[in-house]
Structures are given as structure tokens and as C-alpha cells.
Structure 1
Amino acid sequence: MELKEFIASTLGEIQEGVQLAINETIKNGVNGVINPSRGGTNNINASLIQNVNFDIAVTVADEEKAGVKGGIKVVGISVGGEDTATSKTSRVSRIQFSIPVIPPVTTVNG
């Protein structure tokens, strides 16, 4: 998986997961709120910004194989295999960064 795809997927899943949790707690009448915000939608401010921290080990691979491009990939462990002849050089690096987001909020009056 490309690093950009991993980041986009992760941030999208976090936003969708928070919204799903908000919707479920409202639907089920659960006491309490998830990520509360006072007032209306015009009341979004810097205090709502949260950082999503990434700490990723990436592999940069130079691979000699037809149709495969090199580049930064987020790799996982897979079971199974292919019986192909390849020549591969790889370097593993660790990168850390934060992305500020405002997750979905539950508006609380009062």
C-alpha cells in the first residue's frame, strides 16, 4: 500500500468511526457525549483541533520485476507466496508526524 493511501484511509476511517459512534450513542439514548462542542456550528474553534499521531515504519524498495514501480510503501506481513525470481534492495525507515483534524462533534446546548 502506498503511504499516501494509508494516511488517507486511516484519517477517513477515524472520522467515519467517530461519526458512527456519535450516531449510535444518540440513537441508543446513551448518557454522555462523544467529542462535545457547545453551541451551534459557528462555534468551531481551535480547542476542537486534535492531532492524529502517526509512527510508521516504511520500506523503500528498489525491485527489479516487470510492471512494479519502486517507491515508499507501507508493508504488512502476508501469508502465502509467489514463486517468482526478483532482485530486491530495501531500506526500512521510521517516520513520525501529526495531522491536525477536527473530528465530528456532538453539539451540547447550555
Structure 2
Amino acid sequence: MKAIASFPTHSANRYLAQLCDHFGRKIKAEHGDAKGSIEFSFGRCQLTASDSDLEILAQADDQTRLDQVIGILTSHLERFAFRENPFLDWQKIETNQPT
């Protein structure tokens, strides 16, 4: 299962690095060249930064685990970007659609 969200910000690279560095202390996470990934035991995510937004693609094997990935990423981004008051409108992606 997959879901995607976009956060409009001019600090996308900074938040991408901050998320990956934070999680990378305990789990596999890496970033570079406006892309990053985080591997949880229950799912994973890919992050892509542009000049105008941070795109987050969350993936997991079932809805419960996907909700876990979404919840953790949302809460951490809200904490790191509190001055920008991020709102993530997660959209489910059908598995037969390319990402």
C-alpha cells in the first residue's frame, strides 16, 4: 500500500535532511541530492525535495502499517517545521498506478 503527501515549503532540503538524520540514529535512513529514504521495520518512505515543496511517499504491506508510517512522518515533520504549520493531505495511491 502507498500514500503520498506534499508539503509546500522553500526549506524542503533542510527538512528532508533533518528527518533522515533524526531517524538515521536508530534505523536505516539516507539522503543526498534532494532525495532521501527511511526504512522502518513496518514500512518505508521516500522523500523528494524541490525548490517549492517536500514530497513524501509512504509504503507498507497493509493499512495498519501504512497508517503507522504516515503518523510518524506527520508528527515529526509537524515538530521540525512548526513555524510553517505543515498540513499533510495524504492521498492513497492504488497499487497498479506507477509512482
TM-score (norm 1): 0.23
Give 1 or 2: higher helix fraction. Answer: 2
State the TM-score, normalized to the length of structure 2. 0.25
